[in-house]
């Protein structure tokens, strides 16, 4: 486990600044890749098993928020952990402060809260030439707002007979104890997909549930993870 700077702020924002760098290894044959790069846990918090979680996904696309929250919640339920989605309880996350989230979690009987937000997003296109040479074009979104900026870099200029496009993202997931509104665990993850977003979200959800079980923050009744048909 990597040690990360402690941050005890129970924080929600709908317009977070985004980092530029991404550490993702891609292969042309991959449809969806998800990986957890670093995790941190507060060693001062006594080990606790959580039984019901409030799931919050911070995204500028409401459909993406709903998709993420639904898939992570479903993955938890399929493995014996109760979960409730925030989009059924909070319509506008930008107006949700710590006290409101804590109150809603308590009203729902959720002893833990999971908040996932994007740190960066980019699109990468790999061009395959007849000679076998590759050319990569990357567009990195630095600030996903109405005034967003996009940097585009291309290794060369030419005509490519085939292309493969990827959407990449770096995300942060925070796990809070509801009673004390205290940060217990944090993970940094990367995703990449060339097909449907649902595939990458499911891959990430499975990894998050496995990591939470490994940290003994939750107890799962089935260690087998198989992607359902959506």
Residue 106's SS3 state is helix
Q: What is the CATH number of the domain that holds 90?
A: 3.40.50.800
Residue 228 lies in a domain: no
Residue 162 lies in a domain: no
Residue 132 lies in a domain: no
Q: Is 121 exposed, middle or buried (0-12, 13-18, 19+ CB in 10 A)?
A: buried
Q: Which residues contact 46 (CB under 8 A, 6 or more apart)?
A: none
Mean pLDDT, rounded, for 112-134: 69
Between CA 158 and CA 30 the distance in angstroms is 24
For 32-45, write each residue's pLDDT tens digit: 688 999 999 999 88
Residue 146 lies in a domain: no
Is it the case that residue 31 has pLDDT exceeding 70? Answer: no
pLDDT at residue 49 in the model: 97
| pTM of the full structure | 0.71
For 47-60, write each residue's pLDDT tens digit: 899 999 999 999 88
Among 62-71, 94-103, 150-159, 213-222, the range scoring the smallest mean pLDDT is: 150-159
Residue 225 lies in a domain: no
Residue 3 lies in a domain: no
Q: How many domains does the chain have?
A: 1
For 145-187, write each residue's pLDDT tens digit: 444 443 333 333 344 334 445 578 889 999 999 999 999 999 9
Residue 77 lies in a domain: yes
Q: Which residue has the higher pLDDT, 135 or 54?
A: 54
Containing structural domain, residue 207:
32-119+169-214
Residue 54 lies in a domain: yes
Residue 143's SS3 state is coil
């Amino acid at each position: 486990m990597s040690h990360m700077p402690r941050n005890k702020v129970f924080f929600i924002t709908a317009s977070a600044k985004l980092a530029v760098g991404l550490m993702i290894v891609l292969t042309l044959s991959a449809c969806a890749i998800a990986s957890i790069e670093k995790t941190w846990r507060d060693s001062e918090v006594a080990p606790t098993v959580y039984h019901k979680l409030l799931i919050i996904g911070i995204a500028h696309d409401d459909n993406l928020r709903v998709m993420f929250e639904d898939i992570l919640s479903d993955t938890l339920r399929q493995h014996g952990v109760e979960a409730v989605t925030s989009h059924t309880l909070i319509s506008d996350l930008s107006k949700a402060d710590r006290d409101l989230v804590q109150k809603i979690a308590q009203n729902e009987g959720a002893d833990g809260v999971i908040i996932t937000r994007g740190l960066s997003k980019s699109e990468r296109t790999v061009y395959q030439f007849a000679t076998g040479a590759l050319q990569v074009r990357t567009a990195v979104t630095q600030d996903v707002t109405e005034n967003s900026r996009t940097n585009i870099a291309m290794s060369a200029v030419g005509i490519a007979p085939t292309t493969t496009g990827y959407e990449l993202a770096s995300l942060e997931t925070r796990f809070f104890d509801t009673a004390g509104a205290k940060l217990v665990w944090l993970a940094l993850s990367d995703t990449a997909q060339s097909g449907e977003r649902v595939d990458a979200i499911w891959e990430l959800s499975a990894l998050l549930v496995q990591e939470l079980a490994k940290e003994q923050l939750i107890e799962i009744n089935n260690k087998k993870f198989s992607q359902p048909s959506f």
